[in-house]
Structure 1
Amino acid sequence: MDKNKMKHEKLEVMPALKSPRIVEDASIDSGQRVTWDCIWFGNYPQSEVVCETDTLRINELNDSDYDKQYVTVSSAQWNKIIGAAYDESGDAVVDGIKYRRLRTVDINGLEDGDNNCIGDGKDTDQYFMYEPIKWRILNVNGNDALLLSEKAVDAQRYHMTRESVTWETCTMRSWLNGYDSSFNGNAEDYTKLNFINHAFTSGECSAIKTTKVINDTDHTGDKIFLLSENEVCNSDTAVSYGFEEFCDTSYARACEGSAFVTAMYGDEEDFGVGYYWWWLRSQGITDHTAFVNYDGGVYDAFYVDCSGVAIRPALHLDLSCSDFYSYAGTVCNFWSEDNL
């Protein structure tokens, strides 16, 4: 495996998980130092898989300004991976490891006739390894923990049609939760191709609580959801989660992503280096919804059918189901070795 491969070691002793620790500090721009506990929970495509003899691709990745995670495999293993039988989701298991095959037609940021700029114009298939998802703990209340993915996990449209839409009827909600066509305004069926059933086993799904998601219009009950604008700025709730109250540039809200996210978007050049726009669930003006910019600023106007916005899912986890998750250290909103 390549040196960029992340290690996910389960600790023998799970420390007591806590809500964010916030300490005032006038020496940094945010005015506060915040430390969040993190856990590993679920798996999703992340690192790109590259044959060890593909020096061109390896050099592209190493020379990039973006921190692309990748793993190298032997030629024999590479031939197994590319020759595997992939299902309709693009997934296959090879020697006990799950992979996602991404074809050019699957990339959200591409229009007809475009190439995938991730590989400097390459239009061949790419392969990604399923790896544990790292979650930031925003709140702990007894055995209930509110989690936000530490990095973006995917890039999808908030809604497949440019029209005025709420969280209740957007296709994003259906895709995250695996709902059928009756749940969204586009009548799209996501019972097979979705996030929840690919990221979590049935046991892990049972540990995810159904949350009453509070919206400007009708409230919903979902296992997976997006944060609202009120949960990331301009409220005591946002501050308690470790975010600054103001909606301007914020390292605490800035979001990195995996190699898979970059590939799904299809065009790196619209992002700040290594950071991504990510969706919120709050409705914006007419056919727009709210989002967080790559620099952590919060805005309420982005077309709902834009493909170039990443996803940071949120969920409530039952901490008593400790067999399904493991400790992943801490992250903070200031420079620290814990963030490495």
Structure 2
Amino acid sequence: MEDIKIGSLLSFGNYNWRVLDIQNNRALIITEEVIEERPYHNAYKDITWADCALRKYLNGEFYEKFNETDKARIIPVTNKNLDNQWYGSKGGVDTKDSIFLLSLEEVCTYFGDSLSKLHNPGKNQRYWFERKDKNNSKRIARLQGQEWGWWWWLRSPGRVNVKAVYIFGTDGNIGIQGNNILKGNIDEGRCRGGVRPALWLKLE
């Protein structure tokens, strides 16, 4: 494999991935684009990442799309699933995942440092991170094959456990209050939640 570094692009499986972190000959990568639309869960009920349908899909059907050589390079990890820092909704138990969504804390770390805004919200911040956050544009991702940005799920809970945190499509702002887990929004026509899988990859 070519020499890679944090921020570079690499091809793996049938997707292009952005390198977010490198540790001990392994890299944390996320798909460069929103690769598909899926709901966070298949029922409108209180849920956490550990039990949601999207986690089952990513670690099952999606994982099985990789060939055996690629699977051997995907490193299972234990993910912490913290409570929502603004609302206290439960993040659930730790999970062992081969493929996963980024958490609220991870997206505040790897797309520029926005942790101060997470842990010290302004008095008028109730639903969104600061719209003038200089890191917002770094989180914008296109829906695969399209020219415009699309919103995408994180694994963290929203203000209640029938919602999950997401990244707004047009400006990359963090919707910490969350979107509805089943529809993704109020639109009855389709499930519009964007998926950007992430994984730890063994480097060759």
Counterpart-to-counterpart distance in 1, 2:97 and 2:106: 17
> Which amino acid in structure 2 is aligned with residue 309 of structure 1?
G
Aligned ranges for residues 19-30 of structure 1 at < 5 Å? 19=6
Asked if 1:293 is matched to 2:168, the reply is: yes
Asked if 1:138 is matched to 2:20, the reply is: yes
Counterpart-to-counterpart distance in 1, 2:43 and 2:112: 31
Aligned ranges for residues 1-340 of structure 1 at < 5 Å? 14=2, 16-19=3-6, 36-43=7-14, 133-178=15-60, 194-198=61-65, 200-216=66-82, 217-233=92-108, 238=109, 241-245=110-114, 246=117, 247-249=129-131, 250-259=136-145, 274-284=148-158, 285-294=160-169, 295-300=171-176, 301-306=178-183, 307-320=191-204
- Post-superposition Cα deviations, 1:106-155, rounded to whole Å, max 9, x if no partner, equal xxxxxxxxxxxxxxxxxxxxxxxxxxx11000001131100011101111
Bigger relative contact order, structure 1 or 2, given CA contacts below 8 A and separation 6+?
Answer: 2
> Could you state the TM-score of these two structures normalised by the residue count of structure 1?
0.47
> Which amino acid in structure 2 is aligned with residue 203 of structure 1?
T
Counterpart-to-counterpart distance in 2, 1:219 and 1:142: 22
Counterpart-to-counterpart distance in 1, 2:25 and 2:161: 39
Counterpart-to-counterpart distance in 1, 2:95 and 2:39: 20
Q: Work out whether residues 158 and 304 of structure 1, in 8 Å CA contact, stay in contact via their aligned partners in 2.
A: yes
Give ranges in structure 1 of 5+ residues lacking alignment: 1-12, 20-35, 44-132, 179-193, 263-272, 321-340
Say which SS state the counterpart of residue 291 (structure 1) adopts.
Answer: strand
RMSD of aligned residue pairs (Cα, Å): 1.6
**How far 1:197 moved relative to its partner?**
1.5
Q: Which has the larger radius of gyration?
A: 1
Counterpart-to-counterpart distance in 2, 1:155 and 1:210: 24
Q: Work out whether residues 145 and 317 of structure 1, in 8 Å CA contact, stay in contact via their aligned partners in 2.
A: yes
Counterpart-to-counterpart distance in 2, 1:256 and 1:154: 10
**How far 1:227 moved relative to its partner?**
0.3
> Which amino acid in structure 2 is aligned with residue 280 of structure 1?
L
**How far 1:248 moved relative to its partner?**
4.0
Counterpart-to-counterpart distance in 2, 1:243 and 1:137: 13
Counterpart-to-counterpart distance in 1, 2:111 and 2:48: 27
Residues 1:157 and 1:136: Cα distance change in structure 2 (over 3 Å): same
Residues 1:203 and 1:230: Cα distance change in structure 2 (over 3 Å): same
Q: Work out whether residues 104 and 155 of structure 2, in 8 Å CA contact, stay in contact via their aligned partners in 1.
A: yes
Counterpart-to-counterpart distance in 1, 2:194 and 2:5: 27
Q: Work out whether residues 111 and 139 of structure 2, in 8 Å CA contact, stay in contact via their aligned partners in 1.
A: no
Q: Work out whether residues 243 and 253 of structure 1, in 8 Å CA contact, stay in contact via their aligned partners in 2.
A: no
> Which amino acid in structure 1 is aligned with residue 100 of structure 2?
F
**How far 1:244 moved relative to its partner?**
4.3
> Which amino acid in structure 1 is aligned with residue 80 of structure 2?
I
Q: Work out whether residues 154 and 167 of structure 2, in 8 Å CA contact, stay in contact via their aligned partners in 1.
A: yes
Counterpart-to-counterpart distance in 1, 2:99 and 2:201: 10
Percent identity of equivalent pairs: 30
Q: Work out whether residues 244 and 252 of structure 1, in 8 Å CA contact, stay in contact via their aligned partners in 2.
A: no
- Post-superposition Cα deviations, 1:80-108, rounded to whole Å, max 9, x if no partner, equal xxxxxxxxxxxxxxxxxxxxxxxxxxxxx
> Could you state the TM-score of these two structures normalised by the residue count of structure 2?
0.78
Q: Which moved more, 1:274-283 or 1:284-293?
A: 284-293
